[in-house]
Chain A
Amino acid sequence: MSVADLPSSAAMRRATADPDRRQASAGWLMSAPALALMLTILIAPVLLALMLSFTDYSLGNPSFNWVGWDNYERIFTRSTYTKMLSATFTYVITVVPLSVGLGLGAALLIQSLTRGAAIYKAVYFLPVMATLLAMTIVWQLMLHPSIGVINRGLEGLCAMPFTRGLLSLSFLGLSPEATWFGRVCTEGAPLWLGDRDYAIWVVCFIGIWQGFGFNMVLYLAGLTGVSRELYAAAEMDGARSYWERFRLVTWPALGPTTVFVVTITCIRAFQAFDTVEALFSPGGGPGKSVYVMMFAIYEKGVTQNLMGIGAAITVLFLIFVMILTLIQHWITERKVHYT
């Protein structure tokens, strides 16, 4: 090898002189794009929302006024926004426990099978994959007052004396008005989406329908982590029933999964939008009974160009998410961390 083949000594010194410094500059160079984008796309909007929430800004207006806490005060006093909060919390409080519970139940049932487990798992996971907006439109068609399959089915059940008697509990001597099904038969099937007694529950149902398969899969993953020997030990220790083994082994082992599943389901439930927009836009359903937060942000901030109030709802939303995450961390630190 001749001297010319070697890198010049100056270049070599530059390249090898200080690996630490070289790493540092490469490190900064590589994380700079991500850093800059995180600051502009994620952090700046949070601050912007915080700032806007104290103004009456509208897009296109040359100027704006600082209005102090007015926007927030409105959220907690005006009926539109109290309805929004009540719809949001009704949705979250219904969807979270049910979709977590159903997810756990489905996971336990599926895990106990030797055959067919894969099929059920795939079926239950389908709604998670499917475009929620499209499926909402399908549900809307199914719930259609005259041509929907659901009301047709109810009418069919009413038409047959046996099922009518059974479901309206009239064989117990109850009057037709005493049960829900009896009323359906005498007064006609409900207007699912037009009736304020039903609209929010329909949206909750679609939310649960769509989300519980996700929780099921997380629980199934959690269940595979439960040691087989622990069940054997519980059996040896005298835990005879399924329920005793569930309490002694399964449920504690699923603790971390449950904390995570509940948090993520909460955050997703707070973000419900597609169903409400597809079914109840504009307005947010009969009597604003389905006026959830994300929909309010969209309608106030984007459609009606009331940036200030939209931003205030955004800030409130972020606060909820932060609280949830803090609770999650607190529980994880305290309780479910064994090792």
Chain B
Amino acid sequence: MATVTLRGIRKNFKETEVLRGIDLAIADGEFVSLVGPSGCGKSTLLRIIAGLESASGGSIEIGGAPVDRLRAADRNLSMVFQSYALYPHLTVAENIAVPLRMRQLNTAQRLPLIGRAVPGARERGREIDARVLEAAKTLEIDQLLDRKPGQLSGGQRQRVALGRALVRAPAAFLLDEPLSNLDAKLRVHTRTEIAELHRRLAATFIYVTHDQVEAMTMSSRIAVMMSGEILQCDAPTRIYEDPNDLRVAEFIGSPRINVLPAESDSSGRISVLGKGLPLALHEGRQTLQLALRPEALSLTHHTPLLQGRVVHAENLGHEVFVQISLDGAEQRVVLRTDPAMQAQLHLGAKVGLTFDPNRALIFDAKGQRQRNLLRALQEIPA
């Protein structure tokens, strides 16, 4: 088990910059998710860590030792691939044994048939069998050991791929969207299992996904990547509640965060859709964006900050998401509320909305978070 440190990793494919200087320090035993939309470079980054692709610049250390000159086979990492990449001609047991056979047996001992006669092969072989069985038991696939991958379901293949990764004790586990080929139900189940596995092994995990729910539920830290950069790397709660960048706020959270145009006047006082808020910036007049999670909005009858009409409602049973078209603005906002409220929220109903200014996230025109706010009204100079 080891730390993984990335310094200024860059990657160019011909003219296009896929990664633009990635710095990331992953502690021993940490579970870090690389999450972002497709094409953000997260898979490329993982393959560079693995040694399957070379970086155009920057350096990688695993366990404190630089590995830039080491090839993938020598970096002591295990990887679980999106397509599982199981050897179709080998049984489950043989598949799981491959990393051990490749590393612990020499070329002569690996030969088919005669290999077993080579001195030392038998004992090593027995050791390997024991390790394979242990890994298979951990993943509850010990009944499948004699099957070929073609005879397994997607979920079972996924476990075999995990088994092949954890049969060794590598410096770190790399997982490249391992759940994306599973159906929704199995995905939820396996999510839990991988998280538990991580706790049990206390190993370093680097997990690539485009699914924010996977990232939120499993990780110690999430690195949100977009167009070749890490926008923010923090614990899931911080990422959700305190994003640095509007793109992070928009990417994480479902339904999407509500973004409203806002502005500050010459004294720095912020208003949204013409309504002044008890918030102010230190600097003067500028265009802003105000973001609100659907649960930050609430219905109100008196002095609403926002007004609009119900245009659509989605009842998920335990909660309702209501889309409201705001008066005097083009966009809709989404409100999360209790199913009990639905009676008032029939289509076309006029509603008033309010929110706690402290839960509003303020971004500048470029999407950078503005943290330096004056909050209480009395603090705002007249």
Contacts and interface: CB of A to CB of B under 8 A. Distances in A.
Interface of A: 227, 229-230, 232-240, 244, 248-249, 252-253, 255, 337-339
Nearest to B77: A236
Interface of B: 47, 50-52, 71-74, 77-79, 81-83, 85-90, 98-99, 102-103, 148-150, 164
Nearest to B79: A236
Main secondary structure of the interface of A (DSSP, over half): helix
B73 A252 contact: no
Given A235-B51, A236-B73, A237-B99, 16 more contacts: A230-B87, A232-B47, A233-B81, A233-B87, A235-B72, A236-B72, A236-B79, A236-B99, A237-B98, A238-B103, A239-B102, A240-B71, A240-B73, A248-B98, A252-B90, A338-B89
Contacts of B83: 227, 229
Contact of A233 (B71, B79, B89): B79
Contacts of A236: 50, 52, 72-73, 77-79, 99
A240 B74 CA distance: 9
Nearest to B89: A252
Given A232-B81, A236-B77, A236-B78, A253 B88 contact: yes
B85 A235 contact: no
A249 B72 CA distance: 16
Contact of B88 (A229, A239, A338): A338
B73 A255 contact: no
Contacts of B74: 240
A233 B149 CA distance: 15
A235 B50 CA distance: 10
Contacts of B85: 227, 229-230, 232-233
B87 A238 contact: no
A204 B179 CA distance: 54
Contacts of A252: 87-90
A253 to B, nearest CB: 7
Of A233, A244, A338, most buried by chain B (CB within 10 Å of CB) is A233
Those 4 A-B pairs whose CB atoms lie nearest each other, nearest first: A238-B102, A233-B85, A252-B89, A339-B150
A234 B71 CA distance: 12
Given A235-B71, A252-B88, A229 B98 contact: no
A125 to B, nearest CB: 29
Contact of A238 (B73, B89, B148): B73
Nearest to B161: A233
A67 to B, nearest CB: 50
Nearest to B176: A229
B89 A255 contact: yes
A44 to B, nearest CB: 42
Nearest to A232: B52
A139 B79 CA distance: 54
A227 B85 CA distance: 8
A232 B79 contact: yes
Contacts of B98: 234, 237, 248
A88 to B, nearest CB: 33
28 contacts: A229-B82, A229-B83, A229-B85, A232-B47, A232-B72, A232-B79, A233-B81, A235-B52, A235-B71, A235-B72, A236-B50, A237-B98, A237-B99, A237-B102, A237-B164, A238-B99, A239-B102, A240-B71, A240-B73, A240-B74, A244-B102, A248-B87, A249-B87, A252-B87, A252-B89, A255-B89, A337-B150, A339-B150
